[in-house]
Amino acid sequence: MAFLKVVPLEEALRIVDSFNLKPRVEEIPIDEALGRVLAENIVSPIDVPPFDRATVDGYAVRAQDTFMASESNPVELKVIGEVQAGEEPRIKLAPGTAIYVSTGAPLPEGADAVIQFEDVDRKDDEIIVYEPAYPSLGVMKAGADIPRGKLVLEAGTRLGFKETALLSALGFNTVKVYSKPKVAVISTGNEIVPPGEELRPGKIYDINGRAITDAVRELGGEAVFLGIARDDEKSLADLVIKGVAECDMVLISGGASGGRKDLTSSVIEKLGRVYIHGIAIQPGKPTIIGVVDGKPVFGLPGYPTSCLTNFTLLVAPLLRRLLGRESEVRKVKKRLAHKVFSVKGRRQFLPVKIEGEKAVPIMKGSGAVTSFVEANGFIEIPETVEILEAGEEVEVTLFG
Residue 28 has pLDDT above 90, yes or no: yes
User: Which has the minimum average pLDDT: 6-10, 103-107, 384-388?
Assistant: 384-388
d(CA 207, CA 367): 11
| φ/ψ (deg, to 5) at 135 | -55, 135
pLDDT band, residue 1 (cuts 50/70/90):
very low
201-237 per-position pLDDT tens digit = 999 999 999 999 999 999 999 999 999 998 889 999 9
State the pLDDT at residue 370.
61
310-369 per-position pLDDT tens digit = 999 999 999 999 998 876 678 899 999 888 888 777 788 888 899 999 989 887 665 566
Mean pLDDT of the chain: 91
d(CA 9, CA 11): 5
For residue 117, give Cα distances in angstroms to 86, 180, 265. Answer: 20, 53, 79
Residue 55 has pLDDT above 80, yes or no: yes
Q: Looking at residue 158, what DSSP letter applies?
A: B
For residue 322, give Cα distances in angstroms to 23, 98, 152, 183. Answer: 4, 59, 23, 12
State the pLDDT at residue 76.
96
356-389 per-position pLDDT tens digit = 999 898 876 655 666 667 888 888 888 888 888 8
122-169 per-position pLDDT tens digit = 999 999 999 999 999 999 999 999 999 999 999 989 999 999 999 999
State the pLDDT at residue 290.
96
State the pLDDT at residue 343.
75
pLDDT band, residue 258 (cuts 50/70/90):
low
User: Which has the minimum average pLDDT: 7-21, 101-115, 207-221, 361-375?
Assistant: 361-375
State the pLDDT at residue 364.
67
Tell which residue, 220, 185, 400, 183, has the closest CA to residue 323. 220
Mean pLDDT of 188-192: 90
